[in-house]
Every structure is written in C-alpha cells, then in structure tokens.
Amino acid sequence: MSRIQTTFARLAAEGRKALIPYVTAGDPYADVTVELMHAMVAAGADVIELGVPFSDPMADGPVIQRASERALLKGISTADVLSMVRAFRQDDASTPVVLMGYANPVECFGPDRFVDEAKAAGVDGVLIVDYPPQECEAFAARLRAADMDAIFLLAPTSTDARMQEVGRIATGYVYYVSLKGVTGAGHLDTAAVAAMVPRIRAAVNVPVGVGFGIRDAATAVAVAQVSDAVVIGSRIIQLIENEPRERVPGVAAGFLREIRAALDTLQLQASSAGESA
C-alpha cells in the first residue's frame, strides 16, 4: 500500500475524514514551503497537495494564478519543487505528498525522469489536471510501478463514461471538483455534492475527496459528511499571500486547526450515536 492508501485506511478505521490542504510551492516566499508543510501537518493535515507552478494554470482562479505567478517570478522550477519534497521528507516520513499541476512542466521535464525523481524525492501521488485518463495510462502505470498514486479530477459535468475511465486507472483517491468553473469560484452547493458523490462511488473504488469552494469550517463539515476528504487551497493562499514570511506558517496552521477540529466533531457525533444505539 502507498502512503496515501495507508493514510486513508487508518482514517477510515478511526472514523475520521482526511484534511488535504493545497499550497503552491515557492509561494508566497521561496524559502517558506517546507516550514509551511510541516506547520500544516502539525495542525492536522493528513495529505498535502503541493502545486507545481505553471504559467497557464487554466483550471485555477485568480488566487492560485497569482500564487503560480509569484513562484515563477522567484524562479521556482519543477526541480525546485522536488527539492522541497526531499527537504520535507528529512523530518516527516509518513505524511503523503501529492504533486498537483499541469502536463507542460511534466513533458518538459520528461515523464520518465519526472516519475523517477518524484519517487526519489518522496512524492506519493501525482495529479496532472490536463492529463485525461484515457491518454495517460502509460504514465499512470509508471507511477504505480514506483508505488505512487495516479489521482484524477472529476467534475459536476463528468459523464458516467468519464467516471468509469477514471475508476479504471485511478489509485489513492479521486478529487471531485464541486463547482463548475475555476478554483475559488462560486458558491458551494452541498446538496449537489451530496447527490453527486454516490454516482462517483459507483464508478470508482478509491476514496473521494471534495474541493473547490470550501472556505470555512461549516462548509468543510457539510462536505465531509458525504465524502472521505476535504481539499482546501484558495482560501489558504488568500490568508497567507500578504503575510510577512515569519507569520505564514502560523496563519495557515491556525486556519487548518479550526477545520480539523470541526471535522473531528463528525467522529465524536458518530461515536455518540453508536453508544446510544
């Protein structure tokens, strides 16, 4: 089992939901990412999604676009992102790290080299936004051979056929994009999420994480009631993007602690219900 699979199995046994924060590598300061990752883990993060900066992040809204732009202006490259993961692994051998990004940097790096170096750095999963499942079976197979998970997005517009394609090759978890549009956009319709997740579960046999539009504890809890994981990115970046460097880890950690505490109330409620049954 990969670190991601082990983490989700442990959380399921504990009756808990995974908290997955996203940050862009090298933002808002080039030297803060590793410290930020550790702070998020200490605050209750179960998996970290680390964004690989790219100049045309078409699925991302203005907040994450700005984060990528800032990181690129600092010269952050794919090799730098892998170096950050290696540095993180020096003090954390258990928290899964997922690289999230776009095809262009992977293709420029070389897919085989990317997989080899990601494995050596300690990466656990890869989510490439614009790799359709039917066109990246060889890449997904390379990841699996290196004990890393191939993670895919699903959206409100995903057809049953698309879900089945994803279910055929996805490992680790799938990431359901709960809104039409880009990251950070719109109002989260938790009823629509609740209606969609069972359709996804019928097509995939891995945990379902939900992201896009989760900005506070209330929406996180609502989503966690019908999913296995909550993914939060834009809100974290908004909170830290204008902070001085020394405050960045603490600000992110403070926000995540609130989310973690709220998610863990679901475990307490389930436990209480079981005792009274």
Which residues carry out catalysis? 49, 60
39, 247 Cβ separation under 8 angstroms? no
DSSP for 199-243, please give it.
Answer: HHHHH-SS-EEEESS--SHHHHHHHHTTSSEEEE-HHHHHHHTTS
Buried residues in 220-259 as b, exposed as e (16+ CB within 10 A): bbbbbebbbbbbbbbbbbbbbeebeeeebbebbbebbeeb
91, 214 Cβ separation under 8 angstroms? no
Beta strand 208-211 pairing with 229-232: parallel
